[in-house]
Structure 1
């Protein structure tokens, strides 16, 4: 069992990796951060499909938060003004706006600064459909 939260992100995505580097330097969240490609997803209670879809915040007790909620948790863990911003992102209507912005960025991350074609979120697959 982890003793600190774990942030799981896409290590193949230049935009995601740059964002995580920024967070480590400027925000200083209190968590472990690991690309999903190197994480023990089963031990974290997370599926590969979910990890491919969004950034995840996994608490030491196993609760999993995704997308904008994970970003809010990351900000809150840093304390200070970052924590205030994170808390605001969890309240309506900011929560709804944060979710929409997160989905928009996630859908277009290959076009963001540092993004590459590898950053494209995989299309949803139907059960039993082969992987590329």
Structure 2
């Protein structure tokens, strides 16, 4: 368990060009209140997540150890940013939009090696099931 003084963590695939580009964009434009760390540099055991999960989806880990993955990790990051971004994060948590966001996230994750910034390394790992 992490301490409450630490910020949330956004854990992403640092070997994936698309993922890294998306996180850098978020840091510049969205400005979520968190630290970002590639899963390859994170202490996954301490965070309470498996390597397999970290390979297939972005993760939002709160200071109390709550882990959200995929579209809900994106929603949490948007909520943390405040302003108009938090409205988008709130919408992604509504039941119908949540289901749609989850499907869209899985499609993007499964095809990230084909997206701008993606590399063949992005498609090597398991995709979201």
TM-score higher than 0.5: yes
Q: Distance in 1 between matches of 2:92 and 2:107?
A: 16
After superposition, residues 1-132 of structure 1 pair within 5 angstroms as 1-2=2-3, 3-120=6-123, 122-123=125-126
Q: TM-score, normalised by structure 1?
A: 0.91
Ranges of 4+ aligned residues in structure 1 off by more than 3 Å: none
Please say if residues 56 and 126 of structure 2, whose CA atoms lie closer than 8 Å, have aligned partners that are also in contact.
no
Q: TM-score, normalised by structure 2?
A: 0.93
Q: Distance in 2 between matches of 1:81 and 1:103?
A: 24
Cα shift at 1:53 = 1.1
- The number of aligned residues is 124
Structure 1 residue runs of 5 or longer lacking an equivalent are: 125-132
Q: Distance in 2 between matches of 1:35 and 1:104?
A: 21
Cα shift at 1:121 = 5.1
Cα shift at 1:36 = 0.2
Q: Distance in 1 between matches of 2:42 and 2:125?
A: 19
Larger Rg: 1
